[in-house]
A = this chain, B = another copy of it.
């Protein structure tokens, strides 16, 4: 999936933008629960710490639960965007309301929580599951058809002006689904890449005066000792 995400990101990035896609060395093989999210964050932060050393300008968190986004903003000098955040904010430009189609039913609560957090409660009209596990999106040849049908149903049910795809694993499907159902379909990976690129272009980065200031230097014990900074 990392290769897929990188391909999709590079397809829209400007010529002068270098895209590097990495998958944390530690963490779950896919993220489908609060538990998975929680365990994915230390690995994510390790990658960001590493990016800070190598001079990365900005970051995209390419999981639709936007795990660790606030912590990442504390750690990084440059801007950070989550793909749920970027997809929802992008869809907001396309009409009065959008609908989200995601993988497993159990992840819908997190999406609603993010919608609330991002001020999108009024614009997000529904969150729908297609009941395909994340890793099956790549493996199951029928997955695109199932997701397309779920998008069509979601648009009808929610009377939505646009669709948000609720998983990084669907990142290259937006054009095909949009062509099939006649409604704009937003992918979070591309949205987030173009958002971070725009923020860097404008010289904008996370405000550091209070909440998102650098983490305080302190002792971290046990397995996580390497995170000290």
* A212 closest partner in B (C-beta): B95
Q: How far does the Cβ of A140 sit from chain B's closest Cβ, in whole Å?
A: 17
- CB-contacts of A1-59 with B (<8 A): 12, 14-15, 24-30, 32-39, 41-43, 45
Q: Verify B213–A106 contact, CB threshold 8 A.
A: yes
Chain B hits for A89, CB < 8 A: 89, 92-93
Q: Verify B92–A118 contact, CB threshold 8 A.
A: yes
A63 CA to B33 CA in the complex, in Å? 22
The bracket for how many chain A residues form the interface is 35 or more
Asked if A77 is at the interface (CB within 8 A of a chain B CB), the reply is no
Asked if A148 is at the interface (CB within 8 A of a chain B CB), the reply is no
Q: Verify B184–A218 contact, CB threshold 8 A.
A: no
Q: Verify A162–B207 contact, CB threshold 8 A.
A: yes
Q: How far does the Cβ of A215 sit from chain B's closest Cβ, in whole Å?
A: 4
Chain B hits for A212, CB < 8 A: 34, 95-96, 106, 161
Footprint of B on A, CB under 8 Å? 12, 14-15, 24-30, 32-39, 41-43, 45, 68, 70-71, 73-75, 79-81, 85, 89-90, 92-96, 105-110, 112-113, 116-123, 133, 155, 159-162, 174-175, 178, 182-184, 186-187, 190-191, 194-195, 198-199, 201-207, 209-213, 215-216, 218-225, 227
